[in-house]
Structure 1
Amino acid sequence: MTAKVHTEIRDDCLRVKATGCIDSIEDFIDYVDPLMHKLAESGIKRVLADERKLASRLDYVDIVTLTRRFADRRMDQPLGIRVAVLASESTPEFNRNYETAANTRAMVYRVFHDEETALAWLQERACLIGE
Structure 2
Amino acid sequence: MDSYLIVTVSGSIESSEELADLAGLLVSMGREYGLTRALLKEYRLTKNVDALDIYSVGESQVSVEAAAMGARVACLPNPDEIQLAHTLETVLCNRSVNYRIFEDEETAVAWLTS
Same fold (TM over 0.5): yes
For 2:18, the aligned partner's letter is: D
For 2:22, the aligned partner's letter is: Y
For 1:116, the aligned partner's letter is: E
Unaligned ranges ≥5, structure 1: 1-9, 125-131
Q: Secondary structure at the match of 1:21?
A: strand
1:12 aligns with 2:7: no
Could you tell me whether the CA contact under 8 Å between 2:16 and 2:49 is conserved in 1? yes
Structure 1 residue 48, shift from structure 2 partner:
0.2
Partner of 1:71 in structure 2?
63
How many residue pairs end up in the alignment?
113
Could you tell me whether the CA contact under 8 Å between 1:22 and 1:28 is conserved in 2? yes
Q: Secondary structure at the match of 2:113?
A: helix
For 2:76, the aligned partner's letter is: L
For 1:57, the aligned partner's letter is: N
CA, structure 1 residues 12+112, in 2 after alignment: closer, same or farther (shift >3 Å)?
same
Select the residue among 121, 127, 130 that pairs with 2:111: 121
For 1:114, the aligned partner's letter is: D
Partner of 1:36 in structure 2?
27
Q: Separation in 1 of the partners of 2:23 and 2:98?
A: 15
Partner of 1:93 in structure 2?
83
Partner of 1:25 in structure 2?
16
TM-score by length of 1: 0.79
Identity of aligned residues (%): 33
Unaligned ranges ≥5, structure 2: none
Structure 1 residue 74, shift from structure 2 partner:
4.0
Q: Separation in 2 of the partners of 1:12 and 1:57?
A: 31
Q: Mean Cα displacement is larger for which, 102-111 or 65-74?
A: 65-74
TM-score by length of 2: 0.90
CA, structure 1 residues 71+31, in 2 after alignment: closer, same or farther (shift >3 Å)?
closer
Q: Once the two structures are superposed, what CA deviation does each residue of 1:32-62 show, in whole Å capped at 9, x if it has no partner?
A: 2222111112210110000111111111011
Higher helix share: 2
Select the residue among 77, 82, 86 that pairs with 2:72: 82
Larger radius of gyration: 1
Could you tell me whether the CA contact under 8 Å between 2:3 and 2:113 is conserved in 1? no
Could you tell me whether the CA contact under 8 Å between 1:99 and 1:110 is conserved in 2? yes
